[in-house]
């Protein structure tokens, strides 16, 4: 794990290189690409699948699910039966079901409290201006399959949509080689009250949700994490549907001072590095703490089952940054705009006003990222790759749209008419001007 000292003459260049390493291209899944041809770019692969599904519907979904997931499914088998979801929930240990229910309770409480309300009308003379919120009707949630099941992704994306009032929340997840979605994912759907679940190849499934097929109705928005191909697919269908974000590898930045516990910080960093890929960054003003954390990481990596994966992430995507003081620590963090920012200092809340760019902020030694990943209430679907400079985490508000509402009286229109006409004529939009003046001539 490299060390960047902000006193070094090339520190700015090293930081720029680190920020560049956080981009989506680092999440390439080479094996998936090889399934078509080594010479194909990921985007070419994605566009091929999207076009096929858009033009051939269910037949293309069946073809690509067999081609990439090695599973033969007829269109009648795409949708998971409610009985299968209920059965999956019954196989889960009681403590897991209880944890899911607690997470759902917390998510609903937080998302409900943070939903935007219609603001008061702005009334000026005969002008009444307002804003009205309307909920999306149908939303798709992609949940990754692969070697590990992520039931938390169901809860963190689907429950905020439910809180917003979305009528139809649809979950999509790729099947395993036995043709089934992983049991924990189905169990989470059952506990959360999701009734429409599909087992489809990832990119083909994204296309089906965006364009619709003979058996799958299109949605208004698609959300959820996934590898580079899933993210490219979402980006390609944006405009046909809305999406949450174009996400890259998971990342954490920890700002820590001498009061921090080296072992806990090491584990916080490693918890992100064990994502494949994952990025972890330590920012501290204490060289002694940096050395203790470095030593602790060496010990912990050897004890992890995925130690080889973690070691590669530490070499490629991670760094320890030694700063002069906490003000500089905040500036470095804002420059990198991390997905997760932990502030583990003697007075963590005092630094919060200086933070301008982070997906989620975790304050204090008792608030590891895992709290937000699983139980706290805010969604763990967060901006990555530096996009926290301008983007926010998923919330119930993202499943609603705003409409401006404008109402004029005849007197108000007459008062503003000269200004409207002047601007319309300046832009040579004659009909615009006439649409106003015609109303003024009425008795």
Residue 93's contacts (CB-CB under 8 Å, 6 or more residues apart) are none
What are φ and ψ of residue 362, in 5° steps? -115, 115
Instruction: State which H helix or E strand residue 132 sits in.
Output: strand 127-135
**Given the residues 98, 340, 427, 430, the one annotated as active site:** 340
Max CA separation in the chain (angstroms): 87
Find, among 227, 169, 182, 270, the residue nearest to 27 by Cα. Answer: 227
The answer to whether residue 340 is catalytic is yes
DSSP string for 420-440: HHHHHHHTT-HHHHHHHHHHH
Give the total residue count for the chain: 443
**Rounded Cα–Cα distance for residues 46 and 238 (Å):** 13
Q: Which of 289, 276, 299 is nearest to 345 (CA)?
A: 289
| Number of neighbours of residue 268 by Cβ within 10 angstroms | 26
Nearest 5°: phi and psi at 319? -165, 155
Tell me the two tokens of residue 38: 């080594």
Q: What strands, in cross-sheet order, belong to the sheet with 340-344?
A: 2-5, 319-322, 278-284, 250-256, 340-344, 360-363
Point out the catalytic residue in the list 236, 251, 296, 339.
339
Name the residues annotated as catalytic: 339-340
């Amino acid at each position: 794990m490299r060390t960047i000292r902000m006193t070094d003459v090339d520190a700015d260049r090293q930081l720029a290189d680190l920020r560049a390493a956080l981009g989506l291209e680092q999440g390439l899944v080479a094996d998936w690409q090889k399934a078509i041809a080594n010479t194909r770019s990921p985007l070419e692969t994605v566009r091929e699948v999207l076009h096929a599904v858009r033009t051939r519907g269910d037949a293309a979904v069946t073809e690509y699910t067999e081609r990439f997931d090695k599973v033969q499914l007829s269109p009648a088998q795409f949708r998971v039966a409610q009985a299968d979801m209920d059965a999956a929930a019954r196989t889960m240990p009681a403590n897991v079901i209880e944890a899911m229910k607690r997470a759902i309770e917390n998510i609903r409480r937080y998302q409900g409290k943070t939903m935007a309300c219609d603001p008061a009308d702005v009334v000026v003379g005969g002008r009444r201006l307002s804003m009205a919120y309307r909920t999306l009707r149908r939303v798709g949630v992609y949940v990754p399959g692969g070697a590990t099941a992520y039931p938390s992704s169901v809860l963190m994306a689907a429950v905020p949509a439910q809180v917003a009032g979305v009528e139809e929340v649809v979950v999509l997840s790729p099947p395993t080689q036995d043709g089934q979605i992983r049991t924990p994912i189905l169990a989470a759907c059952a506990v959360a009250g999701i009734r429409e679940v599909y087992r489809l190849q990832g990119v083909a499934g994204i296309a089906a949700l965006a364009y619709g097929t003979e058996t799958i109705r299109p949605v208004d928005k698609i959300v959820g994490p996934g590898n580079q191909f899933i993210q490219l697919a979402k980006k390609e269908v944006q405009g046909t549907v809305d999406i949450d974000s174009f996400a890259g590898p998971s990342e954490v930045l920890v700002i820590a001072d001498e009061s921090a516990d080296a072992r806990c910080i090491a584990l916080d960093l490693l918890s992100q590095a064990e994502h494949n890929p994952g990025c972890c960054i330590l920012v501290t003003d204490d060289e002694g703490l940096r050395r203790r954390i470095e030593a602790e990481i060496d010990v912990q990596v050897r004890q992890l089952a995925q130690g080889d994966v973690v070691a590669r992430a530490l070499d490629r995507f991670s760094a320890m940054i030694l700063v002069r003081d906490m003000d500089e620590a905040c500036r470095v963090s804002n420059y990198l705009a991390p997905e997760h920012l932990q502030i583990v200092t003697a007075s963590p809340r005092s630094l919060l006003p200086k933070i301008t760019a982070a997906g989620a902020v975790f304050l204090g030694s008792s608030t590891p990222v895992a709290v937000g990943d699983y139980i706290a209430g805010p969604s763990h679907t967060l901006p990555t790759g530096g996009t926290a400079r301008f983007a926010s985490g998923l919330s119930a508000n993202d499943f609603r749209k705003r409409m401006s509402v404008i109402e004029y009286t005849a007197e108000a229109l007459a008062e503003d008419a000269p200004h409207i006409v002047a601007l319309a004529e300046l832009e040579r939009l004659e009909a615009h001007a006439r649409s106003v003046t015609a109303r003024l001539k009425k008795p």
